[in-house]
Chain A
Amino acid sequence: MSDRTGRLALANLWVAILAFGVASAMALMQALSRAALDLPWRSAKMYYLSVTAHGTLMALVFTTFFIMAFGYVVAERTLGRAVPHRALAWAGYWIALAGTLATVAAILSGKATVLYTFYPPLKAHPAFYIGATLLVVGSWIWGFVIIRSYLAWKREHAGQPAPLALHGMLATVIVWLIATVGVAAEMLFLLIPWSLGLTKTVDPELARMLFWYFGHPLVYFWLLPAYVVWYAVLPKVAGGKLFSDPLARLVFILFIVLSTPVGFHHQFMDPGIPASWKLFHAVLTFGILFPSFVTAFTVTASLEVAGRAKGATGLVDWLKKLPWGDPLVASVLLSMLLFAVGGVGGAINAAYGMNAVVHNTAWIQGHFHLTVGSATALTFMGTAYWLLPRLTGRELELGLLAKVQPYLWFIGMVLFSISNHITGLMGMPRRIYDASYGGSAVAHAWRGLTDVSAVGGLFLFTSAAFFMLVMLGTGLAGKKSAPQPIEWAEPLEPVSPRAGLLDRYGLWTVVAVVLVLIAYAVPLWQHLQMQRFGSPGFTPF
């Protein structure tokens, strides 16, 4: 890793880690608040402020900066050439950081309590919207640099397929560029002018359509870099090989095509969107389960290769041969287990009728903590244990905490998430400050489970604290050591030296855009033709 790109990656990684630390502290407060404990400073205002800060810092800041850091590492180390446009890449970093600071300042000062979905007519200070927009602009610059890295390499390696890890990262960039068109339109045409007082009212339904055009592929922006780790790093660290390179390439291409035209499954309960279009998005949503099933197969088969290479001969005894004590391996394996449960919940959310049962209930927070909170966050934490020593040239400090941390996260997430799934089915709403509902009989039934959820929150907070201690200990006081190599998993079978259909990124981007136009153009046009009623802004606190 060149020093200059290493510094760029490290700068992004540290923002991600610090954002994670702050967001984790916010989460503890929420978990205890749900258990109705008599905490100092506990109030509705503080609760919703912390929910906003937790969601924004975890879902938007931690993930984006981590992915940018990992993307630079992947680009340089797979292509074997320095990342180009470093000045521009640094400009992107500072723009994203300035935007993050503006957004966080607005939230922590109590002027942007709009939750991470920032649905209008809840209204935030302009700094929140402008800051979030700058974060996205910074990430666009990152995406531009990654694409330019690939194109520069491609000129010298005409006709060759990109290394798999970069293939996955290019898919991430393409998904992100298509997806962020929606949130950019929402910010620039609706929310920023409205927050600045240039327009009096806002169309909440149009804002929600644009948000979820962005909001669901956002999930894949989080998930695809995690899949890069699962495919391109995990088999190597586990002592095996990637079972199938072509299957992995197919998965990333399917995500380019299917990630975006599915947003209406978040809006099944919204008026103003024809049922036929909701059904179309529902069908595509079930389609996007397929690449994740393929991923489950390919990654598990790669682990079986690793276990059998160590002498396993039985049906599943190879599982015991895997290095469960390695922080990266444990993190990814446990995140996959949790994600497998989350997949079932996702298929229930995506079902048009069944969605009504779980809509806006605690089930939803239980679900997305298994996906982004586990598949993504736990994978990213495991990756940080692997990446930070390689970027800093320091040994991992507090190694015992790093070994224990993924297991604490797993236990905490099982307690937190399963209890929230159950209370959700019992009717407990999400995003409520007082789970007792003033002592109602219905709310009394879920009381014990909210305590289980709070215990899960304690485990998760302890795990997050361990992670922060390891990161800070390694970054500030880790012993200097010889640089460790960044190595990628080799495929079991040789990869074709010629680029194929799955390596034609331009073609698949066009296919994705056409599918997006089919899924969104007509319902958006229909919406704009309706008589629409704008809403003034509301600031509850």
Chain B
Amino acid sequence: MSEPQSQMGHPKGTLFLMALYGLLFVASWLSVYVFVYLRRGGVTP
């Protein structure tokens, strides 16, 4: 319970979840950019 960070090692599960979220974040943003924004014609040239 009280093991310090150095003994616990890297929080591998957290890093995995963060990487997964990062992928979903970028994919979601890009999908709205490509399939909604660009498809409708961007407001900037």
Give the interface of A toward B (CB within 8 A).
239, 241, 243-244, 293, 296-297, 300-301, 303-305, 307-309, 314-316, 318-319, 340, 343-344, 347-348, 351-354, 356-357, 425, 492-493
Contacts and interface: CB of A to CB of B under 8 A. Distances in A.
Nearest to B12: A315
B13 A348 contact: no
Contact of B17 (A243, A300, A308, A351): A300
Given A353-B37, A357-B36, A492-B8, A347 B14 contact: no
B38 to A, nearest CB: 10
A353 B36 CA distance: 12
* 4 shortest interchain CB distances as A-B pairs: A301-B11, A301-B14, A309-B1, A300-B14
Given A314-B13, A353-B37, 15 more contacts: A243-B5, A293-B18, A300-B17, A304-B11, A304-B13, A304-B14, A307-B13, A308-B8, A316-B13, A316-B17, A318-B13, A319-B13, A343-B25, A356-B43, A492-B4
Contact of B21 (A244, A296, A319, A425): A296
A353 B18 contact: no
A340 B21 contact: yes
Interface in B3-45: 4-5, 8, 11-14, 16-18, 21, 24-25, 28-29, 32-33, 36-37, 40, 42-44
Give chain A's interface secondary structure class.
helix
Interface of B: 1-2, 4-5, 8, 11-14, 16-18, 21, 24-25, 28-29, 32-33, 36-37, 40, 42-44
A314 B13 CA distance: 8
Contacts of A353: 37, 42-44
B16 to A, nearest CB: 6
A275 to B, nearest CB: 9
Contact of B5 (A316, A351, A354, A492): A492
Contacts of A304: 11, 13-14
A354 B33 contact: yes
A354 B37 contact: yes
B16 A315 contact: yes
A319 B11 CA distance: 13
A201 B23 CA distance: 50
A344 B13 contact: no
A462 to B, nearest CB: 29
13 contacts: A241-B2, A297-B14, A300-B17, A301-B14, A303-B14, A314-B13, A318-B13, A319-B13, A351-B33, A353-B42, A354-B33, A357-B32, A493-B4
A117 to B, nearest CB: 23
A234 B42 CA distance: 43
Contacts of B44: 352-353
Contacts of A343: 25
Contacts of B2: 241
Contacts of A309: 1
A492 to B, nearest CB: 5
A300 B17 CA distance: 9
Contact of B11 (A293, A296, A305, A347): A305
Contacts of B12: 315
Nearest to B28: A344
A243 B32 contact: no
B13 A357 contact: no
Nearest to A306: B1
B43 to A, nearest CB: 5
Contacts of B14: 297, 300-301, 303-304
A357 B40 contact: yes
A357 B17 CA distance: 30
Nearest to B25: A344
